[in-house]
Structure 1
Amino acid sequence: MTTISGSTITELFASAVRLTIDGEKVSPRGMDTRELLDVRLLLGDPRARLLYAPPGRVLNAAFAVAETVWILSGSDAPWIYEFNSQLRQYAEDDGILRGAYGPRMRCWDGHVDQLAHALATLQGDPDSRRAVIQLYDPARDAGGHRDVPCTLGYRFHLRQGRLHMATTMRSQDLWTGLPYDIFAATTLHELMAGWLGAELGDYHHHVDSLHLYERDLDKAVTVLQPDTAAGKLPSLETPWEGFDALLADVRSGRRVHHSGWDTMAAVLASYQQWKRGHREVAVRSAEGIGGPLGEGLRAWYAALQSRGESAPLAR
């Protein structure tokens, strides 16, 4: 096993890129990649979750927030395409992403809320090893639909007052997918710790195949020595009771009188203005958003403006 550690996602990302560039050359489905097998990425501060490595890698901060809210709310609704239109290529003819994590986590088999069950498991037995959220479903995913989950599942362990979380991936596109997957997973990690009244422990990200596509290699070398790193995001701790209603408000861009979640809502509202063509309004609103998310959103707008933003939205 290869272990890669970092206190922030930016530090972790740069180290992972450095190693994967020299990985083995493989071409699954005819697509050339550099690959490392059996990798564990260890993030020391799960709240330092927003990758900030411009100009080499500029993250769509609005999509990071939107996808997180989409997953946590148990949704597979197509509103997510407003934040990343490229996802449509993985949808079926009815526009639905069959591998969407949200319904599998919050309504497995049509009725099991795995998130609520994992929380109840640890509340009933803090030393339990059964706090598991399963995402990969052979009954669905062996059928050949276009969107097969890369994430197999999440596990939680509460030890000595600290909640540790582990994610297992069968496959991970380091350049495109990893920053978003870790953003969403560590948000879940922080929330679960808060619901349990525990301190936030380490975040472990296990990947069977960590890979870089050859098309991304030239860009990847630009992030090997990042000049800056975004700081910690504000706390997102919030009660379990009313959590789904809070997510609905945030998704709509409404204030919920919680600094962390109000920042998330402001990011979504700003980007919706951008997509509706109100570019100046969006940029002005982004200037009023503080912290790493505001900084990340402004960098994303700058990147879009530099390439003329008539291009398709990219992850």
Structure 2
Amino acid sequence: MIVLTADSASALFTAACQAVLLNGRVACPRDLTTTEVVGAHLRLTNPRRRLVAVPPARVINPAFAVAEALWILSGSDSPWIYDYNDKLRVYADDGVLCGAYGPRLRRWDGHVDQLDAVRRQLLNDRESRRGVIQLFDPSRDHRGYRDVPCTLGYRFFVRDGRLIMHTSMRSQDLWLGFPYDIFTTTLIHELMAGWLDVELGEYHHHVDSLHLYAHNAEAAAASLHGAEGNAELAPVDAPWPDLDHLLQRVLDGDTSLADGSTWDAFGRSLASYRAWKAGERDHARKLATDTPDPLGAALVSWYDHLAPAKPAGQR
């Protein structure tokens, strides 16, 4: 069992890499070699520092982080997510990710909006212990689909005027999954705090199997010597009645959101990456550079990672 605390997702990530490399044991589920720690509690004291950045060893695609978070929050399992991460297709059955969190979060059993249910529960009883969102569904997840949720669920507690969030995971790929999962979960955390009109408290990430695949171990070791980013994203909120409309506007590329808000930064990040994928590299870089948020700088770093800029004078 490892217990780690940090004030940024980057610092938590590198501390977890070190702990797994030092304390992990070999496990080979599905004949894939991993170094694994069974039992991990990762505590993030500032959930707005949700961007993992440890260059040059670990640079993430912030546009995919945004896209996945909005995909989940909107309740979607639509294939547009592949536009931001085509590698997800390998987990699909007939083109659909059957373990997608969004429908389970917003339409459990076809009709229960768990996000709204928790919001109302905690508005009605501030110190309730029933603020639970369940994601793992045994009626679906034992059918043999390629995609089975790693996250079991979320729990929320209002204590001393602050919202504390706990996430439980049966499994976590530390290298590939953690940087994106913590972006989504802390965004949900912050939005829920806003709906409850309380301060944003600590975030707790509990993992049963925290692991590194063998082919990522060397890079994970290198990340221990990287420069940990600690950029703090601007506060983000949305009135509950406006959430779904706002999410759709961002996903549709509505340019009227150009107000410097975090939602504006989300939309610009998605538009930039779409331009990059379309081959409009200069336009993509300009959109990223003009994004007034740490997301813009992170996206420039991602583009530099994909296609390092040539030295001046080199053609």
Asked if TM exceeds 0.5, the reply is: yes
How many aligned positions are there? Answer: 307
Normalising by the residue count of structure 2, what TM-score does the alignment of the two structures yield? 0.95
1:69 counterpart residue number: 70
What SS does the aligned partner of 2:49 have? coil
2-structure distance, mates of 1:307, 1:63: 22
Deviations 1:135-158 (A, max 9, x none): 000000000000000000000000
Deviations 1:71-92 (A, max 9, x none): 0000000110000000000001
Contact 1:67 1:184 in 2 (8 A): yes
Deviations 1:144-197 (A, max 9, x none): 000000000000000110000000000000000001000000000000000100
Deviations 1:171-226 (A, max 9, x none): 00000000100000000000000010000000000000000001001111111133
2:52 counterpart residue number: 51
1:112-261 superposed matches below 5 A: 112-254=112-254, 255-256=256-257, 257=259, 259-261=261-263
Match of 1:303 among 286, 290, 305: 305
Identity of aligned residues (%): 51
1:272 counterpart residue number: 274
1-structure distance, mates of 2:273, 2:239: 27
Deviation at 1:231, TM superposition (A): 1.2
Deviation at 1:128, TM superposition (A): 0.5
Contact 2:2 2:19 in 1 (8 A): no
What SS does the aligned partner of 2:241 have? coil
**Which 4+ runs in 1 deviate beyond 4 A?**
none
What SS does the aligned partner of 1:242 have? helix
Normalising by the residue count of structure 1, what TM-score does the alignment of the two structures yield? 0.95
Deviation at 1:258, TM superposition (A): 6.0
Contact 2:285 2:300 in 1 (8 A): yes
Deviation at 1:114, TM superposition (A): 0.3
2-structure distance, mates of 1:291, 1:279: 20
- Structure 1: which 5+ runs fail to align? 309-315
Matched, 1:292 2:294: yes
Contact 1:252 1:269 in 2 (8 A): no
- Structure 2: which 5+ runs fail to align? 311-315
1-structure distance, mates of 2:253, 2:219: 33
Contact 2:91 2:97 in 1 (8 A): yes
Contact 1:270 1:285 in 2 (8 A): yes
- Single out whichever of 196-205 and 235-244 deviates more from structure 2: 235-244
1:3 counterpart residue number: 3
What SS does the aligned partner of 2:30 have? helix
Contact 1:107 1:114 in 2 (8 A): yes
What SS does the aligned partner of 1:203 have? strand
Deviations 1:80-136 (A, max 9, x none): 00000000000012x110000000000000000000000000001011000111000
Q: Rate the CA distance shift 1:258–1:244 in 2: closer, same or farther, 3 A.
A: farther
Q: Residue type matched to 2:128 in 1?
A: S
Deviation at 1:228, TM superposition (A): 3.7
2:313 counterpart residue number: none
2-structure distance, mates of 1:307, 1:30: 39
2-structure distance, mates of 1:280, 1:176: 28
2-structure distance, mates of 1:213, 1:253: 36
1-structure distance, mates of 2:203, 2:68: 19
Deviation at 1:38, TM superposition (A): 0.9
2:37 counterpart residue number: 36
